[in-house]
Amino acid sequence: MVYVLLPVSLLLAVLLLIPELFGDFVAYQIGLYLIYGVAAQGIGYLWGKTGVLPLGQALFFGFAAYVTAITLRAESGLIIDLALATAVLAAISVFSFLLAALIFRGRNESGPYFSLITLALVMIAEQVAGTMTNLTGGFNGMSGFDSLGNLDPFGSFYYVIVAATVVVSLLLYVLNKLPVNLIAKAVADNEPRLQLLGFPTHVVKGAVFAFSAVIAALSGGLFASHQGIVTPTSMGFGLSAEMVILTAVGGRFHVLGPLIGAVIVGWASAELRDSFPYWELLMAAAFILVVLKAPGGIAELLESGYRRIRPAKIGKSFEAIAAPTTKVVDSDAPLRFDDVHLQIGVVRILNGVSFETPPTGIVSVIGPNGAGKTSALNTITGNLRITDGSIALGKRRIDSRPPYKALHSGIGRKLQVPSVFFSMNVSENLSIAMMANRARLIDLFRPSTYQWRSKSLSDLLEHSSVPLQEELVEPVEHLPQGHRQFLEYAMTIAAEPQVLLLDEPCAGLSPDETALMTNLVREYQAETGGLVIVIEHDISIVEAISDKVLVMHLGQVLAFDTFETVRSNPEVQAVYSGGTK
């Protein structure tokens, strides 16, 4: 609570002192900078958390400003004004959510397209506002209306702006302490891993964009009341670009960063505009310098200085509580490939793969490099869409679905190269994994969700040879490769999938660590009674853990039987030889 209340209380105290110390006119100027700063805070949350850069936030800012101006000119009364403002914010949230969700659906790399689409929308909106003279006043804009509640823009309305600034900042600080913040950060950190944990990342991006759009719209409504005039520039690209600059200069990773950027840039511009003819060049140079030398902006520099005086305390691990059960999926279901083909361009990767696993046990997949082993697993999780045939788990067809649906079908996946969230610590990685296939929307806003632990994960952490229990507050980027392998394995089994896909889980491990990993895999399969499919090159491991062995070669199934039968197969002997550690 101190982390949340202290900075917000200091912000409130500073803003309340400005009229007393510097007078109403300075407070009026600061109020305008705060309005821009609040809009930039929304950009900072979206850009800083998810890595998505919006270039058209002025669309929502200007639209809300125009609606506010039209409403205030009608003099309908405060209650109607507030009701209409609420309806506008709701409409903007729905529109912005649908826009982002549609752009990002099925495409992880759509960030540049999203930025360009928002840029195009705001440029179109500015032109429309400039030509719809009867509704918007054209290029001259709309004026001649009082502020909300008939408050004085040079007096009492400043405190409305302060209240909005404090409330938005408090909300952002609170969100930073909730599980939903981890999910947003995970999008920028490792979106493919988040999808394999069952989170639809296009929905996450859409929700965060909608949140930032509502903040921009709120700022636009305040702007109309504060300035008493709304012109097409209020929803133009120039203002959108300025908001991005304020966010970058102030610091997109910090709640107060955009506010700091707005006040500093706004004040410097006002002071230099009339006295220094090259002030724009100077501001551009300052922007470039901050971006190159301090990507976290001014807030990062201030925090770094503060941390030299008071180093950050090492975080404490949470006391574990029993996690809710996972969402129910069918168990004891065999996995079946039926004449599966996979072709990308002119390259044929899978050429009529057909097999059916037992519903339980451990199946090892072996074969030379390029045989199609990893591609076969990718088709199971939906990372690759098959071009022909079908894949079914029991009676349910599962091929060519988005990767985030794999876990909902009871399929967990560990990748060949450890795929974790490197910007977080071990405990945060495990917390995200624990939410997978368990958390409801309300759970993402409950601090107690951080404490969830499943039996499988608790047993793993309590294992005397597994190093993770002593590294819960350790940043993942500091972990050795072997420990990252165990971390990703722990994240994969945290959701207790019925079908566990492991792609070379022992790669890069020492002989002792290899023995530990194989024991963990056997124990998990015995405990859950599920199906484990392992890609492995070490024949000694294959022999030790396999109930059945699937041999692939040139995108086809060469053999599928017990280890002894496969080993004595002449065709297998002709094309495959394995090594041991």
State residue 581's pLDDT score.
47
The tens digit of pLDDT for each residue in 191-240 reads 999 999 999 999 999 999 999 999 999 999 999 999 999 999 999 999 99
Measured distance CA(264)–CA(261) in Å, rounded: 5
pLDDT (tens digit, 9 = 90+) per residue, 370-405? 899 999 999 999 999 999 999 999 889 999 899 999
pLDDT score at 312: 63
Query: What would the pLDDT profile of 81-137 be if each residue is shown by its tens digit?
Result: 899 999 999 999 999 999 999 999 977 777 889 999 999 999 999 999 999 988 888
Residue 322, CA distances (Å) to 70, 349, 449, 450, 575 in order: 54, 43, 10, 11, 49
Which residues are bridge partners to 548 per DSSP? 363
Bridge-based pairing of strands 548-553 and 531-535 is: unpaired
Class of residue 485 by CB neighbours under 10 A (exposed 0-12, middle 13-18, buried 19+) = buried
Read off the pLDDT of residues 317-357 as tens digits, 9 standing for 90 and up. 567 888 888 876 656 789 999 999 999 988 999 999 999 99
For residue 278, the SS3 value is coil
Pairing of strands 499-503, 411-414: parallel
Cα 320 to chain center, whole Å? 25
Query: For residue 427, what are the CA distances in angstroms to 7, 45, 313?
Result: 26, 23, 16
Backbone angles phi, psi at 161, to 5 degrees: -65, -40
Per-domain residue ranges of the chain: 2-236, 335-575
Backbone phi, psi, residue 436, to 5°: -60, 125
More confident residue, 272 or 528: 528
Backbone phi, psi, residue 273, to 5°: -55, -40
**CATH for 335-575, among 3.40.50.300, 3.30.565.10, 3.40.50.1100, 3.30.70.3270?**
3.40.50.300
The band of 297, judged by pLDDT with boundaries at 50, 70 and 90, is: confident
Task: Identify each DSSP E strand in 36-174 by its residue range.
Answer: 142-143
